[in-house]
Each structure stands twice: as C-alpha cells, then as structure tokens.
Structure 1
C-alpha cells in the first residue's frame, strides 16, 4: 500500500471520528432530533453557508463517484456515496480516493 493511500485512509478515519464526536455530543444533549439538528445547522448565515458548501460538495462528489465507477466498473467504490451522506464529505472524499488508488497499486 502506498504512502498516499495510507494518508487517504487516515483522513477517512479522521473524517469519520472527529465529526461524529460532535454529532454524538449534540444528540446526547438534545436527544435524537434530526429536525432540531437541521435547525441548528441553519442558526445563522455563516452556518447556512457551510451547510450549502458541504451539500454542493457532497452532490459533486456523488456525481463524480457514479460516473467514474460506471466507467471503470469498480462497484466497491460506490460505498463512498453512503459514507458521504451518512457521515460527511470529510469521510466520503478521502475514502473514495483511498479506494480509487487501489487500482494504481495493483498495476
């Protein structure tokens, strides 16, 4: 495994654990209230801007994963889509790059 793949794997793990710490903390304080979390994400213009930034990045990543996966017929790479929407772009993007580079390692 290349050093670059290890970096992407480490970033995918960090991109899972670090945001989840805050999500779990929020749920502990407020209960499992997705509507409340959505309202918190739009508490002001700065927060709304970040939400839209990440939403657009997630949609862009999803389109890229779909097109690239179909072209290369590497179906395992599709796991990056639920990772992106269930965890976040901070997990989905480095996970996809980690998976995609496995083809370069096998050459």
Structure 2
C-alpha cells in the first residue's frame, strides 16, 4: 500500500475515533438524546456556523461520491456516505480518498 493511501486510511480511522469519543462522552453525560445533541451543536453562533460548514461539506462530498461511483462503477465509494453522515466528514472524506487512491 502506498504511503499516500496509508495516510488517508490513518486519517479516516482518526476521523472516526476522535470525534466519536466526544459524541460518546456527551451521550454518557446526557443520555442518548439526539435532539439534545443537535441543540448543543447550536449553543452559539460559532458552533452553529461550524455545523452548517460541516453540513454543506457533507452534502458536497456526497454529491462527489455518488458522481464518482456512477462514473467509475466503483460502488465501494458509496461506503463514504454512511461514514460521513454516521460519523462525520472527518471520516468520510479521507475514506473516500483512501478508496479512490486504490490502484485499478
């Protein structure tokens, strides 16, 4: 595996674990309350701006993943979509880059 692919894989793993630690910590303190978490994300203008920034990036990433999967027939790219919306862009984007950097 190339150093570039290893870097993307490491970033995808880090992007899955690090944010999830914060989510799980929050759930541990507040219970499994998704609406409460969304409210917490909008605690102030700075955090709301970050939420919208990541939401727009996630949508753009999804459009790109879908376009690349259809164009290339590499359906494994679609794994980046649930990674993006289930974990975050910090996992979905490097995962897509990892999958895309695989030799044909």
Which interval holds the TM-score relative to the shorter structure? over 0.9
Structure 1: gaps of 5 or more residues: none
Alignment correspondent of 2:2:
2
Residue 39 (structure 1) aligns with: 39
Aligned match of 1:83: 83
In structure 2, runs of 5+ residues without a counterpart are none
SS of 2:32's partner is: coil
Q: Which runs of 4+ in 1 moved over 6 A?
A: none
Other-structure match for 2:65: 65
Q: Distance in 2 between matches of 1:69 and 1:101?
A: 13
- Shift of the alpha carbon at 1:80? 0.2
Match of 2:29 in 1: 29
Q: CA deviation at 1:99?
A: 0.3
Shift of 1:47: 0.3
Partners of 1:76 and 1:67 in 2: how far apart?
13
CA distance in 1, matches of 2:35, 2:68: 34
Q: Does 1:20 align with 2:20?
A: yes
Q: Deviations over 1:18-53 (max 9, x none)?
A: 000000000000000000000000000000000000
Aligned residues: 104
Question: Which residue of the partner structure matches residue 53 of structure 1?
Answer: 53
